[in-house]
């Protein structure tokens, strides 16, 4: 009987250990300050090359700020608030902020009720190892320039 009880206890312990191993938390890449600065530098290089002075912001996956650059003569002074808002929106919605602008202007005007978000072009998720690790937001002079600058920054992670 003792032998059977011991066998059962050992079997239960082995099962518990295998379940603990199966319950291990997944790992995911994290956007570091160095990577955020790399994104900013690439975006800023694009903006300088095209003569589109702007504000560039990078946030982590939770939408919290990592870095912000306000270039000399940035076209829109309010960009210091708009660019981080675009980045936060792209990070938390897990899609380009322009997709939400399209929704408002198209079949989903109720998207405008998403308070506290900037539903304008210029925010893009940043992806590493197939996962969203943050986002970049840009406020320049036109929505098209915002997106081009943001794309240049996002490409720096690839």
What was the pLDDT predicted at 26? 84
The neighbour count for residue 22, using CB atoms within 10 Å, is 7
pLDDT of 64 > 70? The answer is yes
pLDDT of 50 > 60? The answer is yes
Q: For domain 33-155, give the CATH superfamily.
A: Haem-degrading domain (3.30.450.150)
User: pTM for this one?
Assistant: 0.84
What's the chain's average pLDDT?
A: 91
pLDDT of 7 > 90? The answer is no
Backbone angles phi, psi at 42, to 5 degrees: -65, -40
| SS3 (DSSP) at 57 | strand
Any idea which of 18-32, 86-100, 120-134, 137-151 has the lowest mean pLDDT? 18-32
Reported confidence tier of residue 24, pLDDT bands at 50, 70, 90? confident
End-to-end CA separation in angstroms for the chain: 62
CA distance 62 to 65: 9
């Amino acid at each position: 009987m003792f032998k059977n009880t011991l066998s059962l206890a050992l079997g239960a312990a082995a099962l518990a250990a295998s379940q603990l191993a199966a319950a291990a938390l997944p790992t995911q890449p994290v956007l570091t300050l160095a990577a955020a600065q790399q994104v900013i530098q690439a975006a800023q290089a694009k903006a300088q090359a095209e003569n589109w002075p702007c504000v560039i912001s990078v946030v982590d996956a939770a939408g919290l700020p990592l870095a912000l650059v306000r270039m000399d003569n940035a076209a829109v002074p309010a960009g210091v608030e708009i660019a981080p808002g675009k980045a936060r929106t792209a990070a938390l919605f897990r899609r380009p902020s322009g997709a939400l602008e399209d929704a408002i202007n198209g079949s989903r005007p109720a998207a405008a009720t998403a308070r506290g978000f900037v539903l304008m072009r210029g925010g893009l998720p940043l992806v590493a190892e197939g996962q969203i690790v943050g986002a970049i937001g840009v406020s320049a002079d036109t929505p098209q320039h915002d997106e081009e600058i943001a794309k240049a920054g996002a490409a720096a992670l690839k």
